[in-house]
Amino acid sequence: MEVLDPVFLSRLQFAFVVSFHAIFPAFTIGLAAYIAFLEAKWYRNDDPIYRQLSEFWTRIFAVVFGMGVVSGIVMSFQFGTNWSEFSFAAANFIGPIISYEVLTAFFMEAVFLGVLLFGRDRVPRGTHLFAACMVAIGTFISSFWILSANSWMHTPAGFELRDGIFYVTSWIEAIFNPSLWYRFAHVAVASLLTGAFVVAGVSAYYLLRKREEEANRRALSMALWMILFTAPAQAFVGDLHGLNTFEQQPIKVAAMEGNWETREGAPFYLFAWPDSEAEENRFSVGIPNAASFILTHDWHGEVPGLKEVSADERPPVGVVFWSFRVMLAIGVIMIAIAVWSLWLRIRGRLFVSRGLQRVLQWMIPAPFIAVLAGWFVTETGRYPWLVYQHMTLAEGVTPSLTGGMVLATLIGYVAVYAIIFSAGIYYLSRIVVKGPESVDKYASTEVAPSRPMSLVNIPFEENEQR
């Protein structure tokens, strides 16, 4: 492979932008649902602690949502600059789907986000709750359309290919393609888990420092209930998604399992070093027959191997293999924490266990790592296809593109995103350091919004020493 291969660099550039962007929607979807729940509790119980928590987490939501929008806009430009052949060929489907996302979700989020951010004490409490619910629903609708387009690229349906152009013959089959619901459920539950672990970790951080204990105990309790139900649910959904992938994209699953030969009674490798040149695994440690049982529900079921296709039709096995295990390991740790928290709750020690609180602090990055690992499995496992079994990456790239052009823009993206990410993390850390006590849960807001970030009401730089 050439160092300045435009296909490789375009894929690397898109992967960088998507990876940077993906962590923000994963967080905001879960956090929007949490804020809507807090607003419902505030509306029903008139308890000021729920208002305090809602307002505090809405500040964080505002910053993260803004970073997600900014980081996601450039992806649409990349379709035109780097992937023009794909954009032209698939425009009959991708174009309307992106338009539906903008019309049904982004507009909804934009309209009601203003009410959520600036409407407190300026609109009736029920209207504010309604706005919070609409923002939460809008995030799920947005992810539905994006995942419909992405799923179609993995399991294309409802079209016919004429002269290299995809023409939609059935919108129902195309939108609700064979992997959509599995992918949507997997991402939705992952988003709820991400939001719950961040809330739990930040609440644990405050409890360890004995700050706003009543409010943060409630936040921690709610987050751990969410983790208790969603962590095992994610294992179940992930298994269904894996079975669907095994049916639709067996070579991707072969790469996930590090399985080179088609065989019955295939083991599940806990550890291995896949060697693509030798077409075998080195230093492997596996559980006999486990992969066959997981994928076929039969200890002696047949599992296709990577050698079923030629070497140039296989994904990079090492990346897919290890990304899958990183995601899997984090999922197991999440379930263990859910069980641990339940045991402590039953014993009445949930809020005094400093060990659990420290672990929850350390777990804050874990769901983001799991989301990225899962994304690498899905997208790298599709290689070399852009539209599975119909268009390769090489066929979809812009013909006039050179490696130098892509490398230059990639460096530009890395530099700009590094600034955005650093500024965003710095500002978020300031909001977290201020904590829920910075919210007056009894007084009406005196903020007169004049710009989107004025809700947060925390200067970017401040001389105050805490």
pLDDT tens digits for range 156-209: 999 999 999 999 999 999 999 999 999 999 999 999 999 999 999 999 999 999
Among 9-23, 326-340, 359-373, the minimum mean pLDDT is found in: 9-23
Beta partners for 275? 280
Measure the CA–CA gap between 357 and 362, rounded to whole angstroms. Answer: 9
User: Residue 211 has what DSSP assignment?
Assistant: -
pLDDT tens digits for range 293-323: 999 989 999 999 999 999 999 999 999 999 9
Domain boundaries, the chain: 1-162+382-440
pLDDT tens digits for range 388-402: 999 999 999 999 989
Summarize the confidence of residues 230-239 as an average pLDDT: 96
Average pLDDT, the chain: 90
Asked whether residue 103 carries a pLDDT value surpassing 50, the answer given is yes
pLDDT score at 462? 54
Beta partners for 167? 160
Measure the CA–CA gap between 364 and 358, rounded to whole angstroms. Answer: 11
Residue 103 burial (CB count, 10 A): 11
Enumerate residues 6+ apart whose C-beta is below 8 A from 116: 35, 58, 128, 131, 132, 135
Summarize the confidence of residues 60-75 as an average pLDDT: 87
pLDDT score at 105? 79
Looking at the chain, the whole-number percentage of residues with pLDDT higher than 70 is: 94
First to last CA, the chain: 53
Q: Could you give the C-alpha distances from 109 to 28, 105, 131, 429, 452, in angstroms and in order? A: 12, 6, 9, 25, 14
pLDDT score at 464? 47
Listing DSSP states for 107-161 in one string gives HHHHHHHHHHHH-TTTS-HHHHHHHHHHHHHHHHHHHHHHHHHHHHHHS--SEEE
Band of pLDDT at residue 465, cut at 50, 70 and 90 = very low
Find, among 222, 233, 229, 234, the residue nearest to 198 by Cα. Answer: 222
Tokens 């991708």, residue located: 94
pLDDT tens digits for range 129-148: 999 999 999 999 999 999 99
Summarize the confidence of residues 221-232 as an average pLDDT: 96
User: Residue 268 has what DSSP assignment?
Assistant: E
